Every structure is written in structure tokens, then in C-alpha cells.
Amino acid sequence: MRISFYLNGKQTHVDVPPGRKFVDVLREDLGLTGTKECCGAGECGACTILVDGQARLSCLMAAAQLQGRRVTTIEGLAADGSLHPVQEAFIEYGAVQCGFCTPGVVLAAVHLLDRNPDPTREQIREGLSGNLCRCSGYVKIVDAVEAAATKMRGGTPQ
């Protein structure tokens, strides 16, 4: 079945079984391996993408559900070559270790800041509580999101 949706700002069509797991569509049919899969049960958040701006689990969506939707994957976050402030902060604050959780966490953080541009550290933790990280202990991830939020509000991070 032909499914049409907006992928990272571009009109995209794929011809796939309508029930195909969407993360497989992204990784295998579209070659976008930035989105990861790691638990198959919605318990880790590594497969997080944005659908109409909202963070969702691409391992728990059938391809047909994306018809007409606006999808953003990690590959689409950097606008015309320059990184999103969340991505920059992740680099600067050491929030990337093995990096496998990173695409999912970054997108979840983007959605979080979209809803709450001035979150407390506890709110950041809550907002990212669906994204498991086995390497970092989350501290630097919270640092990075806090700094990105400050920057996006036009301030200077500490």
C-alpha cells in the first residue's frame, strides 16, 4: 500500500504493507538509521520520533497510521545544516556517550521544550522519563536540556 506523509519537511511516499512497523519503514525502506530500535515493547524510547510535533514511539505504530502526518526524525532536526540548540547542548554538555539513546532523547527533549520552554530539572527528568539511557545516569542529559532551554529563551546558560 502506498502511504504518503511529510518526512522531515518533504512530501514522501512509500509502498509498504500497511501494518509494517513504522521504525522498520524508516530504517529499512527509507534508509534512515538514526532512529533506533532496542526493546520492541515501547519501554525504552530509543525509537522516538515526532509526529505532528509530538514525541511518539515508532515501534508501536503501523505504517498506515502515518498517512498524511508530519514526521520528524533525528535526521530532520538540523535545519539547513545547523544543529538544533538541543543537539548543540548535548555535544557541549557531554550528554552523548555511546549515543544509541541520543536520537530518541533529543527528540523527546525537543517536544518537551516545545510544551514547556522553561522547565525545572525535575520537569526535564519527568519529560524524558520514557527514554532509557544506560550510559549516562541522565545528569548531563538534564544539564544539556536545561542549557538548551535557556538558550532558546534567549538567555545565557550558566
Is residue 85 at the binding interface for another protein, with CB under 8 A as the rule?
no
CB of 153 to another protein, least distance (A): 21
Q: Does 9 bind another protein (CB under 8 A)?
A: no
* Contact assessment for residue 87 and residue 22, using Cβ atoms and an 8 Å cutoff: no
Residue from 12, 29, 116, 125 binding another protein (CB under 8 A): 125
Binding another protein by CB under 8 A: which of 14, 25, 44, 149?
A: 44
- Interface pick for another protein out of 17, 114, 117, 155 (rule CB under 8 A): 17
| 118 contacts another protein (rule: CB under 8 A) | no
Alpha-helical runs (H) found in the chain: 22-24, 85-92, 102-115, 121-127, 139-152
* Coil/strand/helix, residue 41: coil
- DSSP symbol at 11: E
Options 10, 13, 15, 41; binder of another protein; rule CB under 8 A: 41
Residue 57 pairs in a beta bridge with 48
Contact, 141 vs 122, CB < 8 A? no
Asked if 72 touches another protein (CB under 8 A), the answer is: no
Binding of residue 117 to another protein (CB under 8 A): no
Q: Is 109 in the site for another protein (CB under 8 A)?
A: no
User: What is the distance of C-alpha 86 from the center of its chain?
Assistant: 11
The correct pick among 29, 30, 70, 83 for binding another protein (CB under 8 A) is: 83
* Rounded Cα distance, 88 and 78, in Å: 10
Q: Please give the Cα distance from 21 to 30 (Å, whole number).
A: 13
Q: By CB under 8 A, is residue 46 in contact with another protein?
A: yes
Q: Does 36 bind another protein (CB under 8 A)?
A: yes
